[in-house]
Structure 1
Amino acid sequence: MIDLSGVGYEAGGAVVLADVDLRFEAGRMTALSGSSGSGKTTLLSVAGGLLEPTVGTATLDGEPTWRGTGDPRPDVALVLQVYGLVPVLSARENVSVALRARGTTPAEADERADAALAALHVADLGNRQVEELSGGQLQRVAIARALVVHARVLLADEPTSELDATTRGRVMALLRAEADAGAVVVVASHDPDVVELCDAHHRMAEGRLVRPRHRAG
């Protein structure tokens, strides 16, 4: 699980997060909601090890999420709003590189990448360069890259913002499968339909948690 205790974060003298105490549990899908600027993205970045909290602690199974580099641990996968895809690579290569970085052979990595793209109905885009893809296509490739590694922790920042209702449902089903397999899954979203599909919901405003609410189950 991920534990955030007394977490605060400041950037350029501005308080972005303050007094956040929160636990993300394995086997559950947790929603973070809030308006733009509420701190959702920063909270995910701290939880994923991209940012070091200014105060407080963020740990994954007792070990700090921040490792001093700004890179996530191998057991953490992220879907970022900026997608983070490599422009000079194809869609397939952007997905398979996540597996190759974890020691998977190139042939197996490409095969699994194709399967991940197919699960999101973009198998036909495997050979396309990133710069040729639409916003929704980029988002699905980024999601495939995060899902293909079956990480212990999956943090997704507005993963359905560019998708239609049918594709949104497919993405949420795939995220649910990861949680059911025992992963920590956290979804930041302003979409009430996405929030409703999660097991727990925490709302943020001005860098703080507001009336955290858990559902039974």
Structure 2
Amino acid sequence: MRLDHITYVAGRTLLDDVSVSFPAGKVTALSGPSGSGKTTLLSIAGGLLQATSGTAELGSGPDGQGGQDMWTGSGDPRPEVAFVLQVYGLVPILSARENVSIALRARGASPADADEAAEAALARFGIADLGERQVEELSGGQMQRVACARGFVVGAGVLLADEPTSELDEGNRGVVLAELREEAARGAVVVVATHDPAVVEACDLHIALDEGRVVQ
């Protein structure tokens, strides 16, 4: 994936001429202080936002060019994109398993197959026993792991995770990082926005933002 000369203005300039590559098969850390533009850049990379100027493409060539424009015109991500949102984005009236299963049902999976895969995805993050719990009954860390399970379960070609370990202890952080590596190992583009130096250290590549510009 390649983002070229991305600028995004919403009242003020949130991203200023940012050009970065996110290669398949690698885990890329996107770091920076609060307000540096990490979430905005992920949103443009995944097709949730349209850049004010510049291009975001998922390409098949070695330079990432000549591929699909990530912005489809609707604000909905392409089917090959999955997000782990910083705000979790879970449905409070559904159980943990249903929140994961719904991601597969939306892609055409049968209810039975979706539920089975959801159980396996929850198990990847050590919360298989919480499948029947309503989201509102879960702790922040448990909700974060459910959000990870939902993002990972679809086996997307592009996985964009926004602070996926912010509520987790060291052990569970390690579990999430290991699963991110598994997604990259199968050939996915994996990008992790984080403020945690330990997460940055565990990634293959590192891009730092500050005030909407690449600084590293």
User: How far 1:63 moved relative to its partner?
Assistant: 1.2
Distance 1:133 1:125 in 2: 8
**Counterpart code for 1:127:** E
Distance 1:86 1:9 in 2: 29
Structure 1 runs not aligned, ≥5 long = 212-217
Match runs of 1:120-139 below 5 Å:
120-139=125-144
Distance 2:187 2:15 in 1: 28
Distance 2:112 2:118 in 1: 10
Match runs of 1:72-111 below 5 Å:
72-111=77-116
Q: Deviations over 1:70-101 (max 9, x none)?
A: 11111100011111111121110000111111
Aligned to 2:185: 180
**Counterpart code for 1:126:** G
| Structure 1: 4+ residue segments shifted above 6 A | none
User: How far 1:110 moved relative to its partner?
Assistant: 0.3
User: How far 1:103 moved relative to its partner?
Assistant: 1.3
Structure 2 length as normaliser, TM-score? 0.95
Aligned to 1:60: 58
**Counterpart code for 1:41:** T
**Counterpart code for 2:178:** A
Q: Deviations over 1:96-124 (max 9, x none)?
A: 11111111111011011011101111111
Q: Out of 21, 24, 39, which is 2:22 matched to?
A: 24
DSSP-derived class of the 1:15 partner: strand
Q: Deviations over 1:2-29 (max 9, x none)?
A: 1101100011x20000110011110011
Distance 1:14 1:60 in 2: 27
Distance 2:74 2:138 in 1: 30
Aligned to 2:46: 48
Structure 2 runs not aligned, ≥5 long = 60-66
Distance 1:177 1:116 in 2: 13
Identity rate of aligned residues, in percent?
67
User: How far 1:132 moved relative to its partner?
Assistant: 1.2
User: How far 1:142 moved relative to its partner?
Assistant: 0.2
DSSP-derived class of the 1:9 partner: strand
**Counterpart code for 2:46:** G
Structure 1 length as normaliser, TM-score? 0.95
1:205 aligns with 2:205: no
**Counterpart code for 1:38:** S
**Counterpart code for 2:38:** K
Distance 2:27 2:192 in 1: 7
CA RMSD in angstroms, aligned pairs only: 0.7
User: How far 1:169 moved relative to its partner?
Assistant: 0.3
**Counterpart code for 2:19:** D
Aligned to 2:159: 154
